[in-house]
Structure 1
Amino acid sequence: MDRRSFLALAGGAGAAALSAALFRRWLEMTPAVHYPGRAEGHFLRERGKLPAPEEVIETDIVILGSGIAGLSAAWKLEREGQRKVLMIDGPQPFGNAAGGRFGELAYPTGGHYLPLPSPESVHVREILFDLGIIERDPYGEKPYYDERSILHGPEERLLFNGRWQEGFIPTEGVSAGELGEHKRFFAEVERLRTLRGSDGRRVFVFPTVNSSRDPAFDALDRITLKDWLDQQGYRSPTLHWYLNYCCRDDYGTRYDKVSAWAGLHYYCSRWGQAANAGNGAWLTWPGGMQVVADKLAAASGVRRRAGTAVSLKRGGEGVEALCFTLEGGVARTTLVRARKAICAMPLYVAARVVENIGAYGFDAKRHTPSYAPWLVANFLMKDFPRELPHAPLSWDNVVYQEPGLGYVVSTHQDIRVAPPGKTVFSSYVALSDRTPEAARKWMMGASGDELVALASADLTSAYGWKFAACVERVDITLRGHAMAAPLPGFRSNAGLKALRDADGPIVFAHADLSGFSVFEEAAWWGVQAALKVLK
C-alpha cells in the first residue's frame, strides 16, 4: 500500500473533506526509521577489517548481550555475591526489551507485556519479587502484584465486520456452530493445562525443558498447529483466524508453519493467578518491557559497556572477546579477557562470533533456528481519533486481517482524571504474509512511505483518514531477525540441546536455546548460565 492508497481508504467523500494543509502535512511526514543491529550485523557478516584493540579490559565474568537473558544472568550473579562482571551491551541495549520516548511519553519498540507467571516459573517470580513488581507472597498460589503493573481495563477489543467487540475471538454475528467449536477448543485447553505425561511431568510448562517428554505429546512437534486443528475436526474460520493471530503475535509466524506443540503451549502453559487480579491477567507498562529491563540492570549493578562482540574464543586460562563499536562507519575495538563468558546473544549471531562453535555440537547450517521479522511503529498522537461505537478504546486493539497485529495504547496504564493531551499508538506488524527472507529483503528496500503505509494499515481500518489528522510524529523500528520461530521439530533440535548443556569457559544464555523468544525462557537460561559460571 502506498500513501496515495492510504488516503483513499476513506473514500472520495472523506478525502474531499480533508483540507489541503492536512494533505500536505501527511505527505511531508518523514518517519524516523531504526534498524537495530543492522550496521553491526553487516559488518560482522562481511568481516570488515578491524583495527588493533585500543584497550584491554580484565574481568572475572563477561556477559555478551544485554537482552533479558544477559540481564537475568547479571542479576543472579549479583544475588550470589559475584560482582566482578562486565556486560557488553550488543548493538542495541536491552534488545527485544528495548523502548523509546517522545518526551515524557514512553513506548515499546519490542515486547510490551508479560503474562502472570505460573507456579512452575519460580525464577520469574523470584525476579519480579526482587524488582518490586510482586509485592507479597511470591511463591504462593496467588501473589500480590503492584497495582500499577497489572493491566487495567478495558483490556482488548477486535474490529470484526465493521464493529468493535470485546475480546479477540470473534463472537458477534458468528454462527452457533462456530461458537460451539470455540467452546470445545477452550475446554480442551483446560484439560491439557493439568495433564501429565507418562513421566509424571505436566505436558506444557515454563521453563519448557521441564515439560513432559512423553512420546505421545512429543508427536505434536512433528506437525503444525493447523494440521492439529484439522485432525481434531475444527473447521470454524473465526477460530482458525484467532489461533493464527495468536501464533503471529507470539512467534511472528503463521499457524500453518508453527509446531503444534508450540501453538498449544501458548495457551496451556500460562495459568498464573494473582490475589489482586482476575485469572489470565497481564503485566504491562507504558514503555513495555524496557521497564523490566531497566529494573534488572539497576538491581544487578552490572558494569555495562557499549559494543558488539566480533569474536569469542578460549585464550590463556579463560576467554577472550574482541568487541567493537561503529562511530560514523569507523570501527574501534576493545579486547576483554575473563575467566568465563556468558554468550547471551541470538544464535544466528553466536554462530559467527564463537570460535569453532561446532565443537560444542552446534552445526550452524542445520541447527540455527528460522527467524521471524517484525515491524514496530510508534505514532505520537496529538489527539485521540474519534472512535466507532460498540466497544471503547482498549489497551490492545486488533483488526480482523493480516499481517498487522493491531495497536497498543501506551498511556493506557496512566492513572489520570481526564485523558492525556497526547498519547502513543504502538502498531505491531509480523510480516508473516511472506517468507522471512522476502520480508527482510522488503525491509531493506522499503521507503519511509511504504513503511508508514504498512504500519498504519490497521489504524486506518479503524479510523479512516481521521487517523492521519491526529498524528504528529512516527518512529519505526525494524527487526529483521526479531525472534526464533518454533517450526515443527524444534524440540528435537540436537544443536540447541548441546548449547544448553555446554559447561566450561564459555556458556550460553538466550531464549533461542528453547527455540522461541519469550521472557520466561530467556530469564531461565540467564539464571542457569549464572549458576554454571559460579561453580
Structure 2
Amino acid sequence: MPLTRRQFLYSSAALAAASAASWQLWRGFNALPPIHVNRVGLPLGHALRDNALPPQAKSEHRCDILILGGGAAGLSALWYLAKHGRRDILLAEGFERNGNNAAYRHQSLAAPSGAHYLALPSEESVYVREMLHDLGIMADGRFNETDLVYAPQERLLYQGGWRDHLAPQDADGKRFFALTGRLKTAYGRDGCKIFAIPIDLSSQDEEWRRLDTLTFAQWLQRQNYRSAELLWYLDYCCRDDYGAGIAEVSAFAGLHYFCARGDHADTVLTWPEGLAHLSEALRRRSGLQTLPRLPEQPQWRFDSPASCDVSAVKIEELPNGVNVLLRHNISGETVSVLANRVICAMPLMVAARITSRPEYYGLHTPDYAPWLVGNFVINRFPAEIGRSETAWDNVVYGSPHLGYVSAANQFIRTAKPERAVFTSYTAFGGRKAGESRRMLLHAPSEELLPYAAHDLLQAYGSRFFRYVEQIDLTVRGHGMSIPYPGYLNRPQLLQLRRHNSPLLFAHSDLSGYSVFEEAVYWGVEAAKKTLQAV
C-alpha cells in the first residue's frame, strides 16, 4: 500500500533518528578503519579566491593551442581537435585529473570518486555517439554488452526489505510516466524537440519554456501529483542529477530529466571506475602524452598533444593572442605563455575569478551543489536482508542521501570477489548549500563519515564497518551547477554560448547543469570554432 505524506515524513524522521542512534552506539565500542579525506581543489582554489598567489612568472613562452582543464569538456575538445589533425596542443590538467570524472584507486581496486555512469545518448547527442564509436564502445547503433550495466541494476530498501525497482507503480506514478512518455517525442512550434540533450538544441517555444518560471514542486502540485512515493522518487532523481531537490530546481529541468533521453534512458553505460574509463580512453585516443614539467624553450611545439600537471591562475586576452599564467600544482613554479587559441574548460566560477574583464564574456559564479563521495573498501561482502543480491545502484527510500553503487557489479565472474568497493553519494544543494559547503570543507573525517555511511548503515547496520578496511572521502565543494528557475534564459549563459574569439569557454556550466553530454557538446563546439579560426 502506498505511503501517505504523513507516513512518509514520519518514516524519514525515524530513519534518520535510528541511523544516528546506531552510529553513536557503535562508535562507543569500536575503532574506525583508516579514513582519508580529499578536498578537491584545495588549497589552490581558495588561494585564487583570495588573490593570494604571486603574479610573477619565472619565464615567458609561446604555444599554439592551450586547453585549460582536463575534465570532460577539455578532453572532448582535445579529442575533436586531434581527430581533425590538430596535434600542437597543450592540456593544462587543472585541479584534478579528469575533473568530475575522477576515479578512486586502492591497490588493484578501482571505483568512481565522481560521475559513475552515462545514460545511453539521445539521438541529438551526436558528438557523444561519435565519441563512443571512436572509442569502440558503440558500433552500428549498438553498444558493447560489456559496457552496459550488468544485472541486477538497481534495488530500493523499502519498508524493511529490498525491491528491485526504484520508480513507483501507483496511480500517480503511472500518470506521470505516461505524460513523460508522450513528451519524449513532442516538438515545439519551431520544429525542435521540447526536451533535448544537449539542452542548447531544445525548442524555444515559449509555451513550454514558461515551465522555467516554476519550481518542479510547484508544477507537480498544480498538476495534482500527491503520491508520497512519486514525490520522493522525483526528488531523489533531481538530487542525483542536479544536486538539489524538487523544491529548488526548475520545472523545466525536472521534466527534462525524464523526457530528453528517449526510450532507453533507464539503461546506462558504466565501468568499475565510473566515467574515468571514458576520460582515460579519450586521452589514449588523442595520443595525449604526459609531461613531468613544462618545456623550458621559449617556443613550445608539440608533435603530439601533451598534458602537464599545471593550473591556470590568470587569463588575459590580448590583440596578439591569449596570455595565461600557468602554475605547477606540485612545485608552485609559475610561467607565462602566450597562446594563439585558448579553450577555457573549467567551471565558470574559477574562470570568472582568473579571467581579465570577466563581464565582457558573460562570466559569473553560478549556484553550485557541494557533494560528498565516499569510497569504502570492503574485504568481504556483508550479509544482505532476505535473499537480495547487491545491485549496481542501491538506494534507501526516504533517505536524504543518494545510496551507493557497487563497482564489483561490472566484474565478469561467477562468484563475488573477495574485496570490493562501495561508493556512496550525498548532494548538499538547495537553500543551505553554503552552510553545508563550509561544514564539508572544515569538518574532521569522523564528522563527515556519518553522512557518507548513512545509507550503508541503513542497509547493513553498524556491523558494516567490520568488513571495511579503508575509507576515502572526496569533498567536491562546488560539484555541479544547479538549474534553479530562470536558468534557461540567464543572460550571462546566452552571452557565453555566443562568444567567439581566441579565448573560448567550454564547460557543462554553459548549460546551467552538469552532465557528461553537455560537457562534450560545449567542448566540441569550442573545438569547432578553433578549427574554423585556424
TM-score (norm 1): 0.90
What secondary structure does 2:146 align onto? coil
Q: Are the counterparts in 2 of residues 118 and 272 from structure 1 also a CA contact under 8 Å?
A: no
CA distance in 1, matches of 2:60, 2:114: 33
1:419 corresponds to: 416
Matched AA of 1:147: E
Post-superposition offset of 1:316:
5.1
Alpha-carbon contact 1:56-1:336 (below 8 Å) kept: yes
Distance 1:7 1:42 in 2: 33
C-alpha contact (below 8 Å) 2:61/2:338 kept by paired residues: yes
Partner of 2:328: 325
Which among 144, 165, 168 is matched to residue 142 of structure 2? 144
2:312 alignment counterpart? 309
Partner of 1:162 in structure 2?
Answer: 160
1:374-395 Cα shifts (integer Å, max 9, x gaps): 0000000011010001532100
What pairs with 1:494-513 in structure 2 (closer than 5 Å)?
A: 494-513=491-510
User: Pairwise CA RMSD of aligned residues?
Assistant: 2.0
One of 479, 486, 496 as aligned partner of 1:489: 486
Q: Secondary structure at the match of 2:47?
A: helix
C-alpha distance in 1 between matches for 2:373 and 2:50: 27
Listed as ranges, the matches of 1:97-136 within 5 Å are 97-134=101-138, 136=139
* Aligned match for 1:410, one of 402, 407, 412: 407
1:5 positional shift:
8.5
CA shift for structure 1 position 413: 0.4
- Aligned equivalents of 1:354 and 1:8: distance in 2? 49
Q: Could you say which residue in structure 2 is the equivalent of 1:174?
A: none
The answer as to 2:268 corresponding to 1:287 is no
* 1:160/1:170 contact within 8 Å kept: no
Query: Which stretch of the first structure deviates more once superposed, 408-417 or 382-391?
Result: 382-391
Going from structure 1 to structure 2, the CA distance change for 1:455 and 1:341 (only over 3 Å counts) comes to same
Aligned AA for 2:207? Answer: A
1 CA distance for matches of 2:430 and 2:459? 21
Amino acid at match of 1:155: Q
Tell whether 2:207 aligns with 1:219. Answer: no
Q: Report if the CA contact (8 A) 1:403-1:431 is conserved.
A: no
1:350 and 2:321 are equivalent in the alignment: no
The structural deviation recorded for 1:325 is 2.9
Measured after TM superposition, the shift of residue 444 of structure 1 is: 2.0
Task: Tell me, in whole angstroms, the C-alpha distance in 2 between the residues paired with 1:259 and 1:7.
Answer: 32
Distance 2:423 2:125 in 1: 29
The answer for the alignment partner of 1:340 in structure 2 is 341
1:196-207 superposed matches below 5 A: 196-207=187-198
State the alpha-carbon separation in 2 of the partners of residues 410 and 393 from structure 1: 11
On the 8 A contact 1:376/1:426 being kept in 2, the answer is yes
The residue number in structure 1 matching 2:7 is: none
Residues 116, 272 of structure 1: 8 Å contact kept: no
State the alpha-carbon separation in 2 of the partners of residues 470 and 440 from structure 1. Answer: 30
Shift of 1:6: 6.3
Question: SS where residue 403 of structure 2 aligns?
Answer: strand
Q: What SS class does the counterpart of residue 378 from structure 1 fall into? A: strand
Give the Å deviation of 1:169.
2.6
Structure 1 equivalent of residue 171 of structure 2: 180
Contact in 1 for aligned 2:104/2:111 (Cα 8 Å): yes
Amino acid at match of 2:22: L
**Contact 2:311–2:329 (CA under 8 A) maintained in structure 1:** no
CA contact (8 A) 2:363 2:496 kept: no
Tell me if the contact between 1:225 and 1:258 (Cα under 8 Å) persists in the aligned partners.
yes
Find the partner of 1:397 among 391, 394, 406: 394
Identity over aligned residues, as a percent? 43
Code of the residue aligned with 2:530 in structure 1: it is: V
- 1:425-445: per-residue Cα shift (whole Å, max 9, x none)? 000011247611011111122
**Match for residue 176 of structure 1?**
none
- Structure 1 gaps of 5+ residues are 138-142, 172-178, 274-278
Q: Residue 101 and residue 348 in structure 1: after superposition, are their counterparts in 2 closer, same or farther (change >3 A)?
A: same
Query: Which residue of structure 1 aligns with residue 299 of structure 2?
Result: none
Equivalent residue letter for 1:311:
K
Return the offset for 1:128. Answer: 0.4
Q: How much has 1:153 moved relative to structure 2?
A: 0.5
SS of equivalent to 2:191: coil
CA distances 1:92-120 after superposition (whole Å, capped 9, x unpaired): 11110001211111010100000001111
Q: Choose which of 88, 92, 96 in structure 2 pairs with 1:92.
A: 96
- The 3 A distance-change label for structure 1 pair 433 and 518 is closer
Q: Tell me if structure 2 keeps the 8 A contact 1:402–1:433.
A: no
Partner Cα separation in structure 2 for residue 245 and residue 387 of structure 1: 23
The alignment's TM-score, normalised by the length of structure 2, stands at 0.90
Does the 8 Å contact 2:429/2:482 carry over to 1? no
Note the C-alpha offset of 1:44. 0.4
Distance change >3 Å, CA 48–CA 433, structure 1 → 2: closer
For residues 50 and 238 of structure 2, the distance between their equivalents in structure 1, rounded to whole angstroms, comes to 33
Whether 1:469 and 2:470 are equivalent positions in the alignment is no
1:448 aligned onto 2:470: no
Residue 27 of structure 2 corresponds to residue 36 of structure 1: no
User: CA separation in 2, counterparts of 1:379 and 1:10?
Assistant: 16
> 1-side partners of 2:354 and 2:310: how far apart?
13
Q: Tell me the residue number matched to 1:246.
A: 237
**Deviation of 1:465 (Å):** 1.8
Aligned to 2:22: 9
Q: Deviations over 1:337-356 (max 9, x none)?
A: 21010011100111111110
User: Does the residue aligned with 2:350 lie in a helix, a strand or coil?
Assistant: helix
User: 1:269 deviation in Å?
Assistant: 0.6
SS at match of 2:395: strand
1:30 touches 1:448 (CA, 8 Å); kept in 2? no
Q: How far apart are the structure 2 equivalents of 1:187 and 1:449? A: 45
Take 1:7 and 1:222, find their aligned partners in 2: how far apart are those partners?
38
Q: Distance in 2 between matches of 1:51 and 1:443?
A: 30
Q: Which residue of 2 aligns with 1:54?
A: 58
Offset of residue 400 of structure 1: 1.2
Give the corresponding residue for 2:77.
73
Amino acid at match of 1:166: D
Counterpart CA distance in 2 for 1:11 and 1:65 is 42
Write the distance in 1 (CA, Å) between the matches of 2:59 and 2:84.
29
8 Å CA contact 2:348, 2:363 repeated in 1: no
Q: CA separation in 2, counterparts of 1:87 and 1:451?
A: 34
CA deviation map 1:148-206 (0-9, x unaligned):
110000000011111111111345xxxxxxx1111000000111111111111110111
2:531 pairs with 1:530: no
Contact in 2 for aligned 1:106/1:287 (Cα 8 Å): yes
